[in-house]
Amino acid sequence: MGRPTIELDSKLVQYARSLAKKITDDVQKIIDEHSTVSTERATLRLLGVDGVVGEEQVPLVNVVLDKLKEWNMLDQGAFKPVVSAAIVLDKDVQQVCEAIADGLDLRTLPQPKRNIYEAFSQKLVEEAVARIKRKSEERDALLRELGDPPKPYKYLIVATGNIYEDVVQARAAVFQGADIIAVIRSTAQSLLDYVPYGATTEGYGGTYATQENFRIMRQALDDAARKVGRYIRQVNYASGLCMPEIAVMAAFEGLDILLNDAMYGILFRDINMLRTFTDQYISRLVCAYANITINTGEDNYLTTADAIEKAHTVTASQLINEQFAIKAGLKPQLMGLGHAFEINPDIEDSLLYEIAHAMLSRELFPDCPVKYMPPTRYMTGNIFKGYAMNTLFNLVSSMTGQSIQLLGILTEAIHTPYMHDRYLALVNANYVFSATRHLGDEILFRPGGFIEKRANEVLKKAVELLEHISDVGLFSAIEQGIFADIRRSREAGKGLEGVFKKGEAYENPIRDALERELGVKG
Amino acid sequence: MNQQKLVKPYGDQLNDGAVQLSFTLPIEFGPLAREAAKKFCEKLGFYEVTIATMEDLHEGYTFFVVYGKTDVAVDVSSIKVIAPKIQRLPREKIDELVLQKFKRPIVVVGATIGTDAHTVGLDSILNMKGFHGDYGLERYKAFRVYNLGAQVPPIELVRKVREVGADVVLVSQVVTQRNIHIQHLTELMELLYAENLRDDLLVIAGGPRITHELALELGYDAGFGSGTTPSEVANFIVQELLKRRGL
């Protein structure tokens, strides 16, 4: 399916990207000097460490990290001490971690010879990387076998709190026409500094993201996919305090898409900036290598700031997210940059603005599977009006050639979707997408008309904003409340205590290997 | 005594009692599902039940849109509505009013107290983002907001009230079991009295199970239920404080 085009000022586009690059270059320098507890836990998970300890079900990787911190060994990272112990004790890494939970003190152990350590490390790294590769190839094979549904992909959320109930709803949604299923997480999981364990049947406003829940849903979706004869994508959320670990678990279980924004946690979850920037980098390395598409969260800006007045903040953030993604080796095909249909429906010609903004995202990121979010802010209890708004949303998506369509739910702002709310969303999208399948081929926007002008105007304002951010630095810009009208201080926010400066002895051979494989970092 | 005034739903004729319903039954799409839906509506007291559409949701679920008529009527003369009295002023006007009369922002402390972990109600009133396109209190120049989040022990909340010299306390209770929200709300009120803070404070409760009537019974100044917008709360706070402080 083709899509219409508009003319953007190409010099301005180039300049915008160079500004975004400079902004993120400055941040990346700081990222490279730091690591986080979640990064180190993800490293242990990549080495195969799993399981929980005691009645409290504390993840083993958390127990180990707490011990390393207690022993003042954290600044060398988790890899070296744990792998060294495996060598001198002749155990595998999982056994070493279990022994630490049982009281083993790594400070008492001798160091292995460097050449033995290096050979052993290399073997472990190769195994870890191969595990991800294998899974991603498995997914590719299934995608080829079943075939890719036409875009925009219809994306639906299930959120019962009970993974087994989610499975029923997800399967029903697939049979009704959904292409992508996201299991939304339990309220406030993003603020947990650990990943819960096992299959879970209770949650509020969503279901805990656990590796076992990932596996259960993956199996159910693959089964349904075979029945309907089209590939079904699975989504979860690598945001919050455990971005790197969720990315690793998703890679192990073959998820297709992860919500992953370089700034969302800072702005909307009050997570410390340094923590988020550092975590997003590692999590994106994993996504890039595992062939997982990231979805960024620019749509959220428009739920707090005005969608017309602040449209350029979405564009600026998309450009910043793009540069961070490039630094982590993500190809455009894996960058699901976000935007949203959130303009006040009472505004005259609101649809023209929506089309202009949607076209801007398409035109700026032609190779990215852009994620388009439905109206939420102006959804009221009037479900009938809401349904009409969702129809226009679907129309704009189809005619402008968006890729990932998070379907609007008519009961948005009332309750989490009922089963038939999702069904009605699919009825709407199936109708609109089929009715307008080739509309994009036929549309020509008037050169110099409202839509083209508006898109360029937003771009121009985005450039002005990027200039300002480039001058003051991204940290200060966030402190000034530039995104979503929310101010966050660099010295505050959750998870700051889990950030540390890498010591001279710091090692993370898995990360080094990912960087090497992806061709980032010289 | 008021004269009875019986009212029934209105379709296109007075007292026709016409109602539309939609729901899903966990029954496989088919004749049995249709009969079950009809019976269900009849049990609800509807007659002339019409299944306008029934659709297959798969996995053993069926969706219905149903029309029916009812003889149930309510006597509106017997209903009393207790609600806080407020005038709806726009945000700019509130900001201006507070600047003029208080000469400083009104200090608001909000929390979800006790075991309740849900901040959705509290956040929708306090957070910048607001609710239904209506900005939260953080957005107003008129307020300085301290949002303490969820599971705050009442004693913690009281400490914060003293520390920041709060003018207003907002307490949210969303998910509760066996009316534990009433215990929590009572405990907080008792603490505020014990600490001699009650009289100078505006204390407001909110949540899906809170009504203005219940809040007044518990000694609160107001109660706001589901669907309350931040601007309603903002207006109540400002107007009530102006009145109380004779400004």
Q: Torsion-angle region of residue B106: left (phi > 0), alpha (psi -120 to 50) or beta?
A: beta
Interface test with A, best of B24, B25, B129 (most A CBs within 10 A): B129
Q: Does B133 touch chain A (CB under 8 A)?
A: yes
Q: How far apart are the first and last CA of chain A?
A: 38
With CB atoms and an 8 Å threshold, state whether B55 touches A423.
Answer: yes
- Measured CA to CA in angstroms, residue A63 lies from A57, A188, A494 at distances of 10, 22, 20
Arithmetic mean of pLDDT, B145-164: 88
Tokens of A295: 């979805």
Task: Identify the pLDDT of residue A142.
Answer: 98
Catalytic residue among A261, A371, A372, A378: A371
Q: Three-state SS across A385-439?
A: HHHHHHHHHHHHHHHHCCCEEECCCCCCCCCCCCHHHHHHHHHHHHHHHHHCCCH
With CB atoms and an 8 Å threshold, state whether B128 touches A204.
Answer: no
Give how far A150 is from chain B: nearest CA, Å.
22
With CB atoms and an 8 Å threshold, state whether A171 touches B129.
Answer: no
A299 among known catalytic residues:
yes
With CB atoms and an 8 Å threshold, state whether A380 touches B58.
Answer: no
With CB atoms and an 8 Å threshold, state whether A420 touches B120.
Answer: no
Query: Which DSSP category does B205 fall into?
Result: E
Give how far A366 is from chain B: nearest CA, Å.
31
Contact yes or no for A46/A289 (Cβ under 8 A): no
Q: Per-residue confidence at B1, pLDDT binned at 50, 70, 90? A: low
Give how far A488 is from chain B: nearest CA, Å.
13
pLDDT in tens, A348-364: 999 999 999 999 999 99
Q: Does B24 touch chain A (CB under 8 A)?
A: yes
Task: Identify the pLDDT of residue A412.
Answer: 81
All residues of chain B having their beta carbon less than 8 Å from the beta carbon of residue A204 are 117-118, 175
pLDDT in tens, B133-148: 788 999 999 999 998 8
With CB atoms and an 8 Å threshold, state whether B117 touches A205.
Answer: no
Q: Using CA coordinates, name the residue in chain B closest to A301.
A: B129
Residues A280 and A262: their CA atoms lie apart, in Å, by 6
Task: Identify the pLDDT of residue A134.
Answer: 98
Q: Using CA coordinates, name the residue in chain B closest to A346.
A: B133
Give the rounded distance of the alpha carbon of A147 from its chain centre. 24
Which among A304, A377, A419 has the least Cβ separation from residue B24? A419
Contact yes or no for B116/B157 (Cβ under 8 A): no
Report residue A220: phi and psi, to 5°. -65, -40
pLDDT in tens, chain A (522 residues): 589 999 999 999 999 999 999 999 999 999 999 999 999 999 999 999 999 999 999 999 999 999 999 999 999 999 999 999 999 999 999 999 999 999 999 999 999 999 999 999 999 999 999 999 999 999 999 999 999 999 999 999 998 889 999 999 999 999 999 999 999 998 778 889 999 999 999 987 789 999 999 999 999 999 999 999 999 999 999 999 999 999 999 999 999 999 999 888 888 788 999 999 999 999 999 999 999 999 999 988 887 677 899 999 999 999 999 999 999 999 999 999 999 999 999 999 999 999 999 999 999 999 999 999 999 888 877 899 999 999 999 999 999 999 999 999 998 867 778 999 999 999 999 999 999 999 999 999 999 999 999 999 999 999 999 999 999 999 999 998 888 777 888 998 899 999 999 999 999 999 999 999 999 985
Active-site residue set of B: 129
Give how far B58 is from chain A: nearest CA, Å.
5
- State yes or no: pLDDT of B120 exceeds 80: no
Residues A467 and B69: their CA atoms lie apart, in Å, by 64
Which among A187, A344, A486 has the least Cβ separation from residue B128? A486
- Global pTM? 0.86
Give the count of Cβ contacts less than 8 A between chain A and B.
49
With CB atoms and an 8 Å threshold, state whether A419 touches B227.
Answer: no
What are A's interface residues with B at a Cβ cutoff of 8 A?
A: 168, 171-172, 175-176, 187-188, 204-205, 303-304, 344, 377-378, 380-381, 413, 418-420, 423, 484-486
Helix (H) or strand (E) run with residue A84 in it: helix A79-89
pLDDT in tens, B19-47: 999 999 999 999 999 999 999 999 999 99
Q: Using CA coordinates, name the residue in chain B closest to A481.
A: B128
With CB atoms and an 8 Å threshold, state whether B57 touches A204.
Answer: no
Nearest to A340 by CA among A326, A323, A322, A360: A360
Q: Around Cβ A505, how many Cβ atoms within 10 Å?
A: 11
Cis-peptide, bond into residue A152, ω within 30° of zero: yes
Q: Does B67 touch chain A (CB under 8 A)?
A: no
Task: Identify the pLDDT of residue A130.
Answer: 98
Which among A205, A304, A419 has the least Cβ separation from residue B57? A419
Tokens of A310: 């602040």
Q: Does B178 touch chain A (CB under 8 A)?
A: no
- State yes or no: pLDDT of B116 exceeds 80: no
The helix/strand/coil state of B147 is strand
All residues of chain B having their beta carbon less than 8 Å from the beta carbon of residue A378 are 132-133
- The DSSP string of A168-194 is HHHHHHHHHT-SEEEEPPPTTGGG-SS
The helix/strand/coil state of B48 is strand
All residues of chain A having their beta carbon less than 8 Å from the beta carbon of residue B150 are 188
With CB atoms and an 8 Å threshold, state whether A172 touches B132.
Answer: no
- Measured CA to CA in angstroms, residue B169 lies from B34, B113, B116, B134, B146 at distances of 51, 12, 17, 20, 10
With CB atoms and an 8 Å threshold, state whether A418 touches B24.
Answer: yes
Catalytic residue among A299, A372, A378, A494: A299
Q: Which residues contact B196 (CB under 8 A, 6 or more apart)?
A: none
All residues of chain A having their beta carbon less than 8 Å from the beta carbon of residue B117 are 187-188, 204
Give how far B123 is from chain A: nearest CA, Å.
12
Length of chain B: 247
Q: Which residues contact A313 (CB under 8 A, 6 or more apart)?
A: A298, A301, A305, A462, A465, A482, A483, A484
pLDDT in tens, B82-112: 888 788 899 999 999 999 999 999 999 999 8
With CB atoms and an 8 Å threshold, state whether B118 touches A187.
Answer: yes
Q: Using CA coordinates, name the residue in chain A closest to B226.
A: A414
All residues of chain B having their beta carbon less than 8 Å from the beta carbon of residue A484 are 128
Q: Around Cβ A142, how many Cβ atoms within 10 Å?
A: 15
Which among A176, A205, A304 has the least Cβ separation from residue B57? A176
All residues of chain B having their beta carbon less than 8 Å from the beta carbon of residue A381 are 227
The predicted complex's ipTM stands at 0.89
Q: Using CA coordinates, name the residue in chain A closest to B174.
A: A204
Contact yes or no for B17/B69 (Cβ under 8 A): yes
Contact yes or no for B145/B241 (Cβ under 8 A): no
The pLDDT mean for chain B works out to: 90
Which among A172, A380, A486 has the least Cβ separation from residue B58? A172
- State yes or no: pLDDT of B176 exceeds 60: no
Task: Identify the pLDDT of residue A522.
Answer: 59
Q: Does B59 touch chain A (CB under 8 A)?
A: yes
Q: Torsion-angle region of residue B204: left (phi > 0), alpha (psi -120 to 50) or beta?
A: beta
